[in-house]
Chains A and B, each alone.
Chain A
């Protein structure tokens, strides 16, 4: 069963515009959510996270929103830059150890 779902396999955005990546989860025990970014031939790199007690966390151009009632989170990137082109994974944790990942969304930022 897929506990973390990223339903959009890919997203294309113009440079300078907003990128919105979405993620849904089913496990109510998840208490921490993370976004990772992955370039080809590299491992995932941590981007931003949010605890289940919050509904928003911001770090520079990146903001993560959490809607617990809808079991939905989103990553906003503003403004998008060509260097943001990568695969973005949503991940969740219950209790702080292993991560459960979504299938990823390929973001392409066009200049």
Chain B
């Protein structure tokens, strides 16, 4: 399967702990996006990369959140000192520059539960 993959699929942590999620995009895609989806809402944009450069960050991305894409391939999203409000589905998507917004392919997501 050559789609977007995310790991882990589920993560349960205690408040105050740090968590890290990984996203592997479709291999030829140079754009990578992170979204967050809470219960009853649609996905909300967090940040996106073009190659290894982080080009935009939402104000939703507080100081406790950091995302990296060190070699322009996979990306990690780290949440420090987790809070119960961080409980959500974290979605990753990828696309190829210049192909338009409808070519964002989403992964299955990582469901985070903060106790």
Q: For chain A, which range describes its interface: under 10, 10 to 19, 20 to 34, or 35 or more residues?
A: 20 to 34
Bound state CA distance, A4 and B44, in angstroms? 11
Bound state CA distance, A100 and B56, in angstroms? 14
Contacting pair A42 B104 (CB below 8 A): no
Interface string of B70-106 (1 = CB under 8 A from A): 0000000000000000000001010000001111111
Contacting pair B45 A96 (CB below 8 A): no
Contacting pair A46 B102 (CB below 8 A): yes
Nearest A residue (CB) for B111: A41
Contacting pair A97 B91 (CB below 8 A): no
Contacting pair A101 B42 (CB below 8 A): yes
Give the number of chain B interface residues (Cβ < 8 Å): 26
Complex contacts, B48 vs chain A, CB 8 Å: 97-98
Q: A32-B102, A34-B102 are in contact. Are A103 and B42 (CB under 8 A)?
A: yes
Bound state CA distance, A94 and B65, in angstroms? 25
Complex contacts, A4 vs chain B, CB 8 Å: 42
B4 within 8 A of A: yes
Closest beta carbon of chain A to B111's beta carbon, Å: 9
Bound state CA distance, A92 and B41, in angstroms? 15
Q: A43-B107, A44-B91, A104-B42 are in contact. Are A98 and B56 (CB under 8 A)?
A: yes
Bound state CA distance, A99 and B58, in angstroms? 12
Q: A43-B91, A43-B108, A98-B48 are in contact. Are A89 and B42 (CB under 8 A)?
A: yes
A73 within 8 A of B: no
- Contacting B at CB under 8 A, from A32-89, are 32, 34, 36, 41-46, 49, 89
Shortest Cβ-Cβ A-B pairs, 5 listed? A101-B42, A43-B106, A93-B101, A49-B102, A98-B45
Q: Which residues of A contact B (CB under 8 A)?
A: 4, 6, 32, 34, 36, 41-46, 49, 89, 91, 93, 96-104
